[in-house]
Chains A and B, each alone.
Chain A
Amino acid sequence: MSSLIQVKDLYKVYDHGLIQSLNGITLTLESGKIYALMGASGCGKSTLLNIIGTLDSPTGGKIYYEGKQIKELGKLSVFRRRFLGFVFQFHHLVPVLTLRENIEAALLPNHDISAEERTERAMALLDEMGILHRANAYAGEISGGERQRGAIARALANRPKVLLADEPTGNIDSKTSKLILGKFRNHIEKTSGTILIATHDTDVADIADVWIKMEDGKIVSIESRQHREKK
């Protein structure tokens, strides 16, 4: 197993130091594993996810992506679409685009994907998620579960090495939730990537290979599946 992401002594403060969101996080994410990031609301899970996903910048500390620091990655927009995939708690689909277009939108800036390939890939992902029949529907015309599946399809469209999911099953039923978790596992098997899921849901955490518990901006424990099972 190789390390895809290494986080070293990461700090994040808001409001000129009044709020300390992350307080010296050190973490390694290896390929082929699903990580569950757990902790109470406000403990810094989403902030850590955003910083790893280059959506936010840290106040201090370093992150290495396959051994490279952020300043060595070139254009962040290119890096994001080639290396990272995001699933947010609320689907966040673009409302004026259809489901298919939303997925194609993630592929659109890529120079090396033709229009046919883009459509094919979008349709295949929709099929995989069981929402192919909704391909031409807008976000406002489909159910919450279908929207979230659409959002996951969009996140997987570029076959990212790292998938970051913030409460991905927070607003959906248990059946859809299981389907989504199954897709996450399939993705890991296909790509040997890594998935970091911020969650409160123990069902979600159960599929993880590693549990990371956070409190007040700090990691308090990191447990592997084997370690948990021994317990």
Chain B
Amino acid sequence: MVTQKQKCRTERDFTMLTIIFRYAFRNIVRTPLRSFFTLLSVSLIVMLYTVLTSIGDSFTHQVSSVIEQQDIDIVVQSKYASTPVTSVIDHKMVEKMSHFEGIRSYDALLIGRKRLNGKSTVFILGVSDFSVFAQRLGFNIVKGRALGKMPREIVIGEKMARIHHLNVGDKVALNSGISYDIVGIYSSWLNFINAGVISHLKNAQTLMHKAGKTSVLFLTLKDTTKTIDMVKKINQQFPEMRAIESQQLPDYLGPIKNIFYFSKIVSVLTLLIAMAVLLNTFIMAMSERTREIGILGAIGWPRFMIVSIFLVESLMLSLGGGIAGYLCSYPVMSFILNKFANISMYIPEAPGFDILLNVVFMTAFIGIFSAFFPALYGTRLNIAKAVRHE
């Protein structure tokens, strides 16, 4: 049975929260300019975080997803190539490797960059078998047709078509003086493929002046338990190559690693900057409201109630700024996407939901951390001194 005291306590907790929220909100409104600039600072910082993390996460995630989706066990590229674009594997090596016992199938991929109509650069993927590639990555032709056997045929991604205003039947120059026919437009959930050009391996080799060469070789084994042995075997027999287990690929890719580290550094920096902004705000607020803290202490408010006002206030500012920053990142990403076609393959259409969760947790942490210590310091002051504070 619920006693009168328990009932009062539940009711009190609820009204206490309501009053604390109201109190905190009015304190925010009490100093409108400062609150506005704090919100603005937090939202700008979070916007920067969202855009940069979206780009970093999206690229890393896409490469990892390709590996998972493709049912690939081993990835081979040049030992000293920092990126797949600079990796070169001769077709003789490909031939030898493909005849190793235990190899079920292999796919060769040539990756390069070329200027589109002499302007911005685009990624070109030369694939050994278009239908296998399309099936494994789950993308489909949305306009026109798939790649045929004719030379100088290409299909382009939906995103690329949109950014460069291209359509099926258009001709584009990917190499000086030579034009290529767009026979189809495909749609892929993979951002960097969606913003690229796909051609048959041989056509791509000609286009990139890399006859008989590929950039990366994907191997699928008959028995996946022997992956490590196969990796060792390839690395021993081809010392100029580097074979790795497919799950490790994102760690070996130079730009991905850089983007990953960059996004982590940005996360930490934004966290620290947002924390400094809020900490400054709350040190000032605490100093201005020392007397108020003293009065609340004098009328018998326990320390946790006084601290909670500052925490709620800080959470309102940090979460408000965080969500505003997250929402602002949509138009900013759209602007970057349309303005800088060169890097469109790195930029997702919109920040992911996981980033929103990150933003919420991060800003909540910042809010709590930034207000907790000034508030705790305030409540530890001698009440008599606090009440006399000018």
Contact = CB atoms under 8 A, between A and B. Distances in A.
25 contacts: A55-B298, A55-B382, A55-B387, A56-B385, A77-B297, A80-B297, A81-B300, A82-B300, A86-B298, A92-B291, A92-B387, A96-B26, A96-B27, A97-B26, A101-B19, A105-B19, A105-B296, A105-B299, A108-B19, A109-B16, A109-B300, A111-B5, A111-B8, A114-B11, A115-B11
B42 to A, nearest CB: 22
Contacts of A154: 299
Interface string B1-34: 0001101110110011001001100110010000
Contacts of A75: 302
Interface residues of B, number: 33
Nearest to B8: A114
B384 A81 contact: no
Interface of B: 4-5, 7-9, 11-12, 15-16, 19, 22-23, 26-27, 30, 291-292, 294-303, 305, 382-385, 387
A158 B387 contact: no
A75 B7 CA distance: 23
Given A92-B295, A92-B387, A95-B30, A115 B15 contact: yes
Contacts of A158: 300
A78 B301 CA distance: 8
A86 B22 CA distance: 25
A229 interface: no
A77 B295 contact: no
A53 interface: yes
Contacts of A106: 299-300
A158 B298 CA distance: 13
A211 interface: no
B302 A112 contact: no
Nearest to A154: B299
A170 to B, nearest CB: 14
A93 to B, nearest CB: 8
Given A77-B297, A101-B19, A111 B9 contact: yes
A94 B298 contact: no
